[in-house]
Amino acid sequence: MGEIVDMNHIQLSDRPLLVSDVDDVVLEFLYPFESYLASLGHHLLPKSFQLTGNIVSLADQKALEADQVKQILHDFFDCQEEWQKPFGDSVTQLKQIGTMADIVFLTAMPPAYTLQRRRLLDRLGLDFPLLATESPKGPVVKALHRARPLPLAFMDDMAHNLHSVAEHAPDCLLVHIAPQSEIHRFAPETAPQVIRANDWSSACTTIIAHFNSAMTRAS
């Protein structure tokens, strides 16, 4: 699983559980990151679904090296509170889901920047527990949910994260949401069992319907 993920601060109730990614799911990432790049004299020129090789200098149009891209990304996470805003109607819809389910944020980000993200989410009124890790998400979701006989849903913008959770928590509802952008044209396809949500309203409807149905069957 990579680094040890500390879950000691997370206490789940006897309700369904939604585990949600953050970047480009709860908070905008791509568009603020592009603005941040512009402030540094760089530009995202996508030719594939990755950052390395697709960020170029406006001065000479040369692609930045991998270590430069990594440092810029970490610097962005360090000042994320100045740049990132809610993704669509995420705040309202998450609060609605939170009336009938537990929510845990599972963000693919170096844990060193957890406090910055925690402050930003709290400022938006999203005080749900947060885990930051660069480990595969499937084992983390499995460890979070344990063997609880309660419905589980997972929401992410990346196919590999959704497929990782599918492998380790096969009964989990998988919801894919992502921005409409040039770079996402190169994104890999998700597996057939993954449900595509065009916006947070449809995602919320799908998740609540799944939870209600599962709880009704169990009663």
Note down pLDDT in tens along the chain; length 219 residues.
456 677 888 999 999 999 999 999 999 999 999 999 999 999 999 999 999 999 999 999 999 999 999 999 999 999 999 999 999 999 999 999 999 999 999 999 999 999 999 999 999 999 999 999 999 999 999 999 988 899 999 999 999 999 999 999 999 999 999 998 999 999 999 999 999 999 999 999 999 999 999 988 876
- 3 lies in some domain: no
Same domain for 91 and 164, yes or no, is yes
Q: How far apart are CA 56 and CA 127, in angstroms?
A: 37
For residue 1, the model assigns a pLDDT of 43
Count of C-beta atoms within a 10 Å radius of residue 43: 14
Same domain for 91 and 139, yes or no, is yes
Same domain for 107 and 157, yes or no, is yes
- 10 lies in some domain: no
- 4 lies in some domain: no
Q: How many domains does the chain have?
A: 2
- 167 lies in some domain: yes
CB 184 within 8 A of CB 57: no
Same domain for 184 and 207, yes or no, is yes
HSE-CB for 187 with a 13 A CA cutoff: 19
Residue 188: C-alpha distances to residues 48, 78, 163 (Å): 10, 28, 11
Same domain for 92 and 199, yes or no, is yes
- 11 lies in some domain: no
Same domain for 162 and 67, yes or no, is no
Same domain for 92 and 34, yes or no, is no
Same domain for 117 and 202, yes or no, is yes
For residue 4, the model assigns a pLDDT of 67
Pairing status of strand 102-108 against strand 55-57: unpaired
CB 43 within 8 A of CB 53: no
CB 136 within 8 A of CB 145: no
Six-digit token pair at 9? 């601060």
Same domain for 91 and 176, yes or no, is yes
Q: Which amino acid is at 127?
A: D
C-alpha Rg value of the chain to the nearest Å: 18
For residue 217, the model assigns a pLDDT of 83
Count of C-beta atoms within a 10 Å radius of residue 186: 12
Same domain for 56 and 100, yes or no, is no
Q: Give the residue from 82, 98, 116 where a domain finishes.
A: 82
Six-digit token pair at 4? 């040890």
Same domain for 208 and 152, yes or no, is yes
- 72 lies in some domain: yes
Q: How far apart are CA 63 and CA 69, in angstroms?
A: 9
Question: What secondary structure letter does DSSP report for 41?
Answer: T
- 1 lies in some domain: no
Parent domain of 211: 17-28+85-218
Same domain for 122 and 163, yes or no, is yes
Measure the N-to-C terminal CA separation of the chain; round to a whole number of Å.
Answer: 35
Q: How far apart are CA 218 and CA 117, in angstroms?
A: 36
Q: What is the CATH number of the domain that holds 24?
A: 3.40.50.1000
- 55 lies in some domain: yes
Count of C-beta atoms within a 10 Å radius of residue 55: 23
Name the helix (H) or strand (E) containing 105.
strand 102-108
CB 26 within 8 A of CB 87: yes
